[in-house]
Amino acid sequence: MAALRYAGLDDTDSEDELPPGWEERTTKDGWVYFANHTEEKTQWEHPKTGKRKRVAGDLPYGWEQETDENGQVFFVDHINKRTTYLDPRLAFTVDDNPKKPPTRQKYDGNTTAMEILQGRDFTGKVVIVTGANSGIGFETAKSFALHGAQVILACRNMARANEAVSRILQEWHKAKVEAMTLDLASLRSVQNFAEVFKSKNMFLHVLVCNAAVYALPWSLTKDHLETTFQVNHLGHFYLVQLLQDVLCRSAPARVVVVSSESHRFTDINDSSGKLDLSLLSPSKEEYWAMLAYNRSKLCNILFSNELHCRLSPHGVTSNAVHPGNMMYSSIHHNWWVYTLLFTLARPFTKSMQQGAATTVYCAVAPELEGLGGMYFNNCCRCLPSAEAQNEVTARALWELSERLIQERVGRQTS
Ligand SMILES: NC(=O)c1ccc[n+]([C@@H]2O[C@H](COP(=O)([O-])OP(=O)(O)OC[C@H]3O[C@@H](n4cnc5c(N)ncnc54)[C@H](OP(=O)(O)O)[C@@H]3O)[C@@H](O)[C@H]2O)c1
């Protein structure tokens, strides 16, 4: 290119090479235009690439821009005592219409947790996953452990938890994995778990609230609350309360709450719009298993949002996720009808590794640093139901959960 040669810079052959008869020039304010002397026309777009360009940066040292009597811009090289109509900065043009980044999102419903973590090293990071002995929780824990994190499988059944630890160690004998007892149906057990964890004096960078029960026949926990509500929501709420100082000390830290799209099919307020405990923890007569599950999953999102509001000033963020539809984990085992439905759906649903992907994405995605109070599906942000976005309900649920715990823990200690 003449301008480059003139400016003392060698060009490399490139797609920017002009066809014969064309020349590039610049306007006073640095826009590049193209002149065709044969056809006596000018245009903004490069005749070959169609790109618009402008020059980047200042003129080289010793150069000055001037305008001739016809209003044409020219350039004076004071050092070499010469003038030219070619802008020496044409060597450093930038596209004015850079290609838009591809609109396709980086990850989708087919992405696996391992793909999200690929190439990342989480050595020194501590992750707790509740309900990690099976299904999505197991794949979440395993994926982190295989990428160097120290992972605690917080499970109610130690035999199953130890078996899960062995399975991870079989894949990588150096994985730092450990099982700890956590029964979310018991506030005492949650308290014990937190005490034992804290006694280890470790950081906590990622807390995944994953454990859940589904389609359970009605039962009350030792704390006199309906089991689905306590396991899926209140137990996790208490766990986070007890570990929040560790989370803050470990900041930046992230909480991921595994919810479900089924949160959309319910409400937790009474007819006057007030949060109603009898809907959250109903009597046997009022109980419908599916509804109890849906309500607990709505609680998960409300809890995550409120948690984010309260802890994000301390560097702890929280997001809620939907892992996928009707994935063949052990979640369906409480009723043979669900087992049949999940079996029929199995060929069309996500694998457990794919089910763990959105959780893992929310736990590690660099673009989510400092961001929370959102809901994700297929590693993509989406809006939960209007009820799940209700800030008043989220605050009321938080206060109610605090009260329920205070009453029960107070009763245990007195
Ligand atoms: N599978 C799906 O299609 C689907 C769809 C939407 C959302 N989800 C959500 O994904 C999450 C994981 O479910 P999953 O499909 O992987 O089911 P899963 O295989 O049944 O895993 C649930 C885990 O929770 C544990 N758990 C149950 N009660 C507990 C308690 N009292 N204390 C501590 N842990 C307890 C279970 O332990 P045990 O083995 O001892 O029972 C199990 O490890 C859940 O939050 C679920 O709501 C799943």
- Model confidence at 9, pLDDT cuts 50, 70, 90, reads very low
- 341: its two tokens: 């439905």
* pLDDT, tens digit (0-9, with 9 covering 90-100), for 114-159: 999 999 999 999 999 999 999 999 999 999 999 999 999 999 999 9
Give the number of the atom of ligand 1 that is nearest the alpha carbon of residue 261: 6
Atom of ligand 1 nearest to the CA of 186: 31
Residues contacting residue 142 through CB under 8 Å, at least 6 positions apart? 167, 168, 171
Helix 158-171 × helix 135-145 angle, to 10°? 40
Q: Residue 157, class by beta-carbon neighbours within 10 Å (0-12 exposed, 13-18 middle, 19+ buried)?
A: middle
pLDDT band at residue 93 under the 50/70/90 scheme: confident
For residue 135, what pLDDT is reported? 96
Domain limits, the chain: 22-96, 113-411
Q: What pLDDT does 13 receive?
A: 46
**pLDDT at res. 333:** 81
Cα distance between residue 301 and residue 267, in whole Å: 12
Identify the band that residue 371 occupies on the pLDDT scale cut at 50, 70 and 90: very high
Listed in sequence order, the residues at least 6 apart from 408 whose beta carbon sits closer than 8 Å to its beta carbon are 187, 223, 224
- Expressed in percent and rounded to 5, the helix, strand and coil fractions of the chain are 40, 20, 40
Q: Supply the pLDDT for residue 194.
A: 98
401 alpha carbon to ligand 1 midpoint, in Å? 21
Rg (C-alpha) for the chain, rounded Å, is 30
What is the model's pLDDT at position 11? 43
Give the per-residue pLDDT at 370: 93
What letter would DSSP give residue 66?
A: E
CA–CA distances in Å: residue 274 to residues 181, 238, 309:
36, 22, 21
- CB atoms < 10 A from the CB of 390, how many? 20
Runs of H (alpha helix) within 128-177: 135-145, 158-171
pLDDT tens digits for 32-66? 888 888 888 888 888 888 888 888 777 877 788 88
CA of 404 to the centre of ligand 1 (A): 23
Q: Return the best residue to mutate from 153, 156, 186, 207 for the ligand 1 pocket (most ligand atoms within 8 A of CB).
A: 156
| Closest CA to ligand 1's atom 19 | 135
Q: What dotted CATH number matches 22-96? A: 2.20.70.10
CB atoms closer than 10 angstroms to residue 207: 29
227 pLDDT tier (thresholds 50, 70, 90): very high
Q: Which of 134, 219, 221 to mutate to test the pocket of ligand 1 (most atoms within 8 A of CB)?
A: 134
Work out whether the CA dihedral 149, 155, 161, 167 comes out positive or negative.
negative
Q: How far is the CA of 130 from the centre of ligand 1 (A)?
A: 9
* 168-222 per-position pLDDT tens digit: 999 999 999 999 999 999 999 999 999 999 999 999 999 999 999 998 999 999 9
Total Cβ atoms within 10 A of residue 23: 16
Least confident among 34-38, 92-96, 169-173, 369-373:
92-96
User: What atom in ligand 1 is closest to the CA of residue 326?
Assistant: 3
Q: Which residues does ligand 1 sit against, CB inside 6 Å?
A: 130-131, 133-137, 155-157, 160, 182-185, 210-213, 231, 258, 260, 323-327, 329-331
Range scoring the smallest mean pLDDT among 67-81, 302-316, 349-363: 67-81
By annotation, the residues acting in catalysis are: 293
50 CA from centroid of ligand 1 (Å): 55
- Cβ–Cβ < 8 Å for 356, 116: no
CA nearest to 223, candidates 182, 188, 193: 188
Crossing angle (nearest 10°) for helices 391-413 and 289-311: 100
Q: Per the CATH hierarchy, to which homologous superfamily does domain 113-411 belong? A: NAD(P)-binding Rossmann-like Domain (3.40.50.720)
CB atoms within 10 A of CB 291: 16
Query: Could you tell me which residues are beta bridge partners of residue 153?
Result: 129, 179
Task: Report the alpha-carbon distance of residue 173 to residue 294 in Å, rounded.
Answer: 39
Nearest CA to ligand 1 atom 34: 131
Give the SS3 label for residue 385. coil
Residues 371-387, mean pLDDT to the nearest whole number: 95
Dist. CA 342 → ligand 1 center (Å): 14
